[in-house]
Each structure stands twice: as structure tokens, then as C-alpha cells.
Copies of this chain bind each other. A is one copy, B any other.
Amino acid sequence: LDYQQLITRATLLLDESKCRTNIAQMCAKAASLGISLRPHFKTHQSLQIGRWFKEYGVDKITVSSLQMAEYFSSEWDDICVAFPLNIREIALVEKLAKKTKLTVLLASKEAALALAEQLTVPLDVMLKIDFGYHRSGIDFRQTGLIDDVLAQFSNNSNSRFKGFLTHSGHTYQCIGNDDIANLNRDVLAKLAELKDAYAAVKPYISYGDTPSFATQTDFAGVDELRPGNAVFYDLSQWQIGSCSTGQIAVAMACPVVGVYPERNEVVVQGGAVHLSKDVFTLDEKRVYGLPVNLTTDGWSEPLENCYVKSLSQEHGILHMSKEQLESVKIGDLVGILPVHSCLTADIHSQFLTLNGEWVDKFRTY
């Protein structure tokens, strides 16, 4: 049975073959670098896709919330929550730390104090360090503050300082290999400085972002890499230069509900509640996704001169070329490659594979 016959409403498609290739490449690359891989599961959020990673030898993971850690703890026993500890959730940290080997992140002295006061079970802790992204974490130059945080560990024998973790999210502002390489070099130099300063405590170093992982080969001083988006990729990663459009492993299948040749537009069931409202700039236009033709075994490259022009809650408006418009009918399915696959996947509770199988996933709420 063709998977398209199973689709009645807007549905998130997963190309298992592309996804497995992406996973295999992640594992092969980490192996060739001789660096441990702790993939970030916030992109796919699925136990089943997690099992594919296990087939390639992955035995530890990263997640972005304690709720996601709880979901994965049924099948994974080494989980790092790569989000600064929310001290209102320490009770849940304790509950999970009893079930699985949990690592949490500290990014402030206040959180370190709260944890030192309350922790009653063994827990691995890493310090979140900021090497220039300026989202969260302690600036690598603030060694006084790092010392203060580390000092809290001596106050509670349950907490074990494991090392430093950083996310170079500023690579998402890069375009192309050279740009990413420069940024990566800069971060690694700063990391070397920090490692020198704390050589006595032998810090384990966790590093990660998909653009640098996908394009770079120098990760000197790094013990562990945490790429996430590389499991699916998306148009943002394609624009950065991390992947080709052919590597993108998910697409929304959207039923056509309106065809408007007079304005070169097609309206689909496929809005912000299906794709997320994330957007990127392409040829000076704000673009919410790129249309593809669905085929029995997947989808085409992005259709020339076509793009998702706007999204409201349930509607997507697609600008389509004259040629494409001629072949689109009410009731057809149009595929849309997502701008940001993490946010698109987050909305959904299931993927549909090209074999017509439903793959369940976690939902935050």
C-alpha cells in the first residue's frame, strides 16, 4: 500500500532510509575522529528512532528537558539533560537519577547552591560554559565564578563534577564551511585555555552543534560530541552548509485545499500548528518551507521557483510556478521540507514512514 493512501490530514513523513544514513554518518564520523558520540535526541524525540541509533552502537544520549529524559529512561541508562538546571525541578532530577545515570547542567552559583542543599542521590554534574554564543552558561573567562560553583560540590558528596559542556549555537549564524571553521577554531582555542586552567580537576569536555559536527574535523581537546539536528537535517542546516537538501529526512505531507492560478498560489492544510512558525530568508524572501513532489518512494528535490509564502494557524500559502500549478489538484498531497525540523517534529506525536508505518514520539505537553 502506498503511504500516501494512508494520509487524510497533514502528516509528518519520515524517510527511514535517509534517517538511517544520517545516523550511520554521524556514528562513522565520531568514530573516525576518535571522539565519543552522545547524540541529542531533542530533534526526533522517539524511542523507535533511538533504537536505530543503538543498532549503530550509540549507548548514551542528550535530551533538552527532564520530561524527555523520563520518556527515554525506559530504554536508555546514560542521559544528559543539556539545559541549565531549573531548580524548581530538583525533585524530578532525584526521581530520574534513581532510574538512570543522569547528568545535569549547572550555569549559575545559585543553582549549584540549591542542588548542594537538596541532593540526596548520586548525580553527575557538568558546568555549562559560554565561549561566545551568549545564550546561557558561565563565560569561560569568569574563573572566579566557575571556582565558586565547583566549591559547592564539596558540600554534597552526592554530586560529582564531571566536566564542562558547551553549545556553539552561534554556528547557526554561519554560512559555509570557512565561516564555521573560523568560529570552531576560535571556540577550541578558548576551550584549550579553560582546560589548562582546570587541568587539576581533569574536566571531561562535551561539545556540540550540528553545523560544526557536520562540516569540521578538528575537535582538539573535546571528549564528546552532541549533534542533534543531523538525524533529520532541514532547510536551515542546508542554508548553513551542513547538508544537501537530499539529506533532509522529514517532510510534511499537506493536502491541497485551494488552487489559485491567478495569483500563482496553492493553499494547503499545513499551517503553523503543523510546521511551526520558524522562517528563513531565501533570495530575500521570508520562507516557511520549500515544496517538493511526493513520490511512491519519497520526495523530489525542492521545486524550482516555489516556496511557502505564509502560514496562519491551519493554512499554508504556497507560491508555485506556473508549471507546477498546472499539475496540482484539490485533494493532492504536496510535500514541504521544514525550515527547522526540531520544531516541526516537536509538534507531532507520530511520524509516518514511506513504508506506511507509524513511528511514535514524545510530546512535551
B-contacting residues of A (Cβ < 8 Å)? Answer: 7-9, 42, 64-67, 83-89, 91-92, 107-108, 110-111, 114, 134-137, 169, 255, 257-260, 263, 265, 267, 269, 272-274, 276-279, 312-315, 317, 329-331, 342-343, 346-350, 363-365
Contact = CB atoms under 8 A, between A and B. Distances in A.
Most chain B beta-carbon neighbours within 10 Å: one of A7, A114, A269: A269
Best-buried of A273, A315, A342, A347 by chain B (most CB within 10 Å): A273
A350 B364 CA distance: 12
7 contacts: A8-B86, A8-B89, A107-B258, A136-B267, A273-B364, A348-B365, A363-B363
Contacts of A329: 110
Contacts of A263: 134
A9 B258 contact: no
Nearest to A255: B86
A277 B275 CA distance: 11
B8 A88 contact: yes
A8, A257, A314 — most chain B CB neighbours (10 Å): A257
Contact of A313 (B110, B136, B342, B363): B342
A312 B135 contact: yes
Given A312-B169, A331-B88, A343 B42 contact: no
A106 to B, nearest CB: 10
Contact of A257 (B86, B269, B278): B86
Contact of A273 (B313, B315, B343): B343
B315 A267 contact: no
A138 B296 CA distance: 32
A365 B274 CA distance: 9
Contacts of A111: 257, 330-331
Contacts of A91: 8
B343 A277 contact: yes
Given A42-B313, A257-B83, A9 B108 contact: no
Contact of A136 (B276, B315, B331, B349): B315
Contacts of A258: 84, 107-108, 136-137
Given A9-B67, A86-B269, A313-B342, 4 more contacts: A87-B255, A134-B260, A348-B365, A349-B363
A89 to B, nearest CB: 5
B365 A64 contact: no
A2 to B, nearest CB: 14
Given A87-B330, A88-B9, A135-B267, A272 B343 contact: yes
A256 to B, nearest CB: 8
B8 A110 contact: no
A97 to B, nearest CB: 16
Nearest to A348: B365
A197 B138 CA distance: 69
Contacts of A88: 7-9, 255, 331
A165 to B, nearest CB: 14
Contacts of A330: 87, 108, 110-111, 114
Nearest to A263: B134
Contacts of A260: 134
Which A-B residue pairs are the 7 nearest by beta carbons? A110-B330, A84-B257, A277-B277, A87-B331, A8-B88, A136-B258, A86-B255
Contacts of A65: 9, 314
Given A313-B342, A343-B272, A259 B108 contact: yes
